[in-house]
Amino acid sequence: MDEREYDPKEEMRCPRCGVLKMRRDFFRQSASSDGVSAYCKGCMKEYQRARRVEIKTRLTRGEEAEETILRLRERVAQLKRQLGESQLARREFAAGMELVLGQEGAEHGD
């Protein structure tokens, strides 16, 4: 850090990087009390870049989930063709009852 006098009207310290910078190195933000964002432009750009990567990753995972759902739907259709509607319905009913009974047992401490 340098030894010069700190002028709050002209300079701010970014809480993220800790560097004392000129106010022009901060984005304007009318909602804040001093009219500028808390973080410097460099830190904001870094944050936004990381956020875009995170969102892109979530979207990619979402696409994978959609593919999984499509595969499961195809498998259900295949089972319906192989087993017939009635036999599949009995299996789904039995699986559903196991879920319900299993949950009730867990709720009652059985």
Measured from the Cβ of residue 83, the count of other Cβ atoms closer than 10 Å reads 13
Alpha helical stretches, state H, the chain: 41-83, 85-108
Query: Could you tell me the two tokens for 72?
Result: 């499961």
Pairing of strands 26-28, 20-22: unpaired
For the entire predicted model, the pTM comes to 0.49
pLDDT tens-digit series, residues 44-75: 999 999 998 888 887 777 777 777 778 878 87
Taken as a whole, the chain contains a residue count of 110
85/69: higher pLDDT: 69
Q: Where are the domains of the chain?
A: 45-103
